Amino acid sequence: MNAMTESRQNALPLLRRGCEKIYTERELCEKLTRSASSGQPLRIKLGLDPTAADIHLGHSVVLRKMRQFQDLGHKAVLIIGDYTARIGDPSGRSKTRPMLDDTQIKNNAETYFQQASKVLDHDPGKLEIRYNSE
């Protein structure tokens, strides 16, 4: 039995822990099986809009889940919403989503990465940072 097959057998119980419900469990099992068969890791993505200097406690739940995927051999992808932060709330109704300039966005994105790296494995083979402006 190779490491990917063994990892797949142990993956589902670990990934279920802490979740109320996995809505597409059958699809997840299929993806894990294909990943194990091909040796190609899954890419697990999370988008964060850098509208403030710090991520909040609620992000820790999804970051821990992403770390579990990393520990099982998959790749986490953080998508920084730099374009979204630049726009803010175009209706002007939300003071929590103001338009930010490039310097604020860059600084916020850097602190997000530093904070997320406390949970995620930031090895380049296990973590990829992308920007939605790409």
Q: Where does residue 44 rank: exposed (0-12), middle (13-18), buried (19+ CB within 10 A)?
A: middle
Residue 1 has pLDDT above 70, yes or no: no
In this structure, how many other beta carbons lie within 10 angstroms of the beta carbon of residue 116? 23
At residue 109 the predicted structure's pLDDT band, cuts being 50, 70 and 90, is confident
Range in 52-56, 74-78, 92-96, 112-116 with the lowest mean pLDDT: 92-96
Q: Nearest-CA neighbor of 13 among 31, 28, 2, 34? A: 28
β partners of residue 75: 43
Cβ atoms 69, 80 nearer than 8 A: no
Name the least confident of 38-52, 81-95, 111-125.
Answer: 81-95
CA 113 to chain centre: 11
- pLDDT at res. 86: 76
Res 2: pLDDT? 64
Whether this prediction's pTM lies above 0.75 is answered by no
